[in-house]
A and B are shown apart, each in its own frame.
Chain A
Amino acid sequence: MSTITISNLRKSYGRIPAVDGFSLEIPGASVFGLLGPNGAGKTTTFKCMLGLARPASGEILYDGKPLAPAMFERIAYIPERSVLYDWMTVEEHVEMTRRAFRSFDPARAFELLATFNIDRRRRVRALSKGMRTAVMVALAFARNAEILVLDEPTGGLDPVNQRHVLSLMINEAAKGNSVIFSSHQIGQVERAAEHIAVMDRGQLILQGLVDDLKADRKIVEGIFPDITFTLDGIANDARVARADRTERVVRLLVTGGADEIAERLANAGAMGVRVLDLNLEDIFLYAVSPATSTADVVAKETSS
């Protein structure tokens, strides 16, 4: 049930800040998706959560308490890069994990390995990237951990096995455990995650319930009969996060009140006013791409 609270986290590698004043609350008993372009700071955040990197400042609390050695038993981690030993067999990794963690269930690990069609006698050297990911997944999900931190847990997996990993995550959440994962496959995050956060250049730029983000964020589009028109101050509404204009077409990214803003746009003289849904990929792309500021559009509006 652990709630994880990250406050004002900072971590630099050399002079480059990887995480730059990042705060986030991750609710327990759910699946949480961390999104962001390459180099956004997701892996660094995970490493700080696991005590594998020491933050320059800030703190990470689990149910209000800092990470302590006793908690490693309760947290399972799949790192972004394989940490398996090339010269060891899959079976030997299961044995090694059994010795390290009391609540690890070797029978469950073998069962999971079988569902991924992995021969336990093979050496890691002989495994493909996807198979190595599957081995790490099997080891992590057999840990009986309360918190699973999964950095790209479907890397290299085929669609069937990707879906299988998502099902395992859902199952953990249904048992009351917490899953925090990152993925570049937005479709997976969209399906399995209840909450998401989007990081960009070390900072939090967007967070919320996936369903609420989709319910609130809409594109309101309208076409004006003439090139000269006035938006009547609509672009200055706090809920209009972004306004783009091409000739007679105006597209507004709104963070709420779509129907009301659509009506105002129609009253301002726009024809064919539509409210368009956004999926998570659209929401993500809008969040990480530089916005045409509303001021620009308004300026354009008055100059044309």
Chain B
Amino acid sequence: MPAVLTVDPRSGVPIYLQIIEQIKRSVALGILQSGEQLPTVKQLAIDLTVNPNTVARAYRELERQQVIETSPGRGSFIRSNGVTESPKVAAEIGRDALDVALREAKSVGLARDEVRELFDAALQRWFPTFEK
């Protein structure tokens, strides 16, 4: 896999969170499919030039969030429990992004109705419905 995975160590976002975010995103986009094997902790650490324990921490957290599963001796895989996880993960990513946007809107003092107006306009731009 991840030619798609990169980290920015200079960012203020912890590296393990960057790895989690990117793997979830790859799952949501179907770049990583259920049952697909992830690189070993050691391999990913070497590929990204980051500490192996940092990668291990990301994997542990992804396991806790039920995005991946690890079987001893075989490696880590994108969870495949019959249903694909990607819609759920996609919803999580969208919800987090909306959260950030709404917090910002509130902090600059917009009122609820103004936010709704902006939201509807943005929704129409990105998810157009054509009315006759």
Contacts and interface: CB of A to CB of B under 8 A. Distances in A.
Contacts of A211: 14-17, 54, 57
Nearest to B42: A174
B19 to A, nearest CB: 10
B49 A163 contact: yes
Interface stretch (B4-12, B27-35, B124-132): B4-12
Contacts of A167: 46, 49
B13 A193 contact: no
Contacts of A173: 45, 51-53
Contacts of A30: 51-53
Interface in A177-229: 187, 190-194, 210-212, 214-215
Contacts, number: 73
Interface in A131-157: none
A265 B115 CA distance: 22
A61 interface: no
A279 interface: yes
B50 interface: yes
Interface in B38-70: 41-42, 45-46, 49-54, 57
A170 B10 contact: no
B14 to A, nearest CB: 4
Contacts of A29: 53
A29 B10 CA distance: 23
A192 B49 CA distance: 7
A271 B106 CA distance: 9
A247 interface: no
Contact of B108 (A174, A192, A194, A271): A271
B109 interface: yes
A31 interface: yes
A128 interface: no
Nearest to B51: A194
Contacts of B12: 214, 276-279, 282
> Nearest 5 pairs between A and B by C-beta?
A277-B12, A211-B14, A191-B9, A194-B51, A174-B42
Given A170-B51, A174-B41, A187-B10, 18 more contacts: A30-B51, A31-B51, A166-B49, A173-B45, A174-B42, A174-B45, A187-B9, A192-B50, A192-B51, A211-B54, A271-B107, A272-B108, A272-B109, A273-B107, A277-B11, A277-B13, A278-B12, A279-B10
18 contacts: A163-B49, A167-B46, A170-B45, A173-B52, A174-B46, A191-B49, A192-B50, A194-B51, A210-B14, A210-B15, A211-B16, A211-B17, A271-B108, A271-B109, A272-B108, A273-B107, A277-B11, A279-B12
Interface of A: 29-31, 163, 166-167, 170-171, 173-174, 187, 190-194, 210-212, 214-215, 266, 271-274, 276-282
Interface of B: 9-17, 41-42, 45-46, 49-54, 57, 107-109
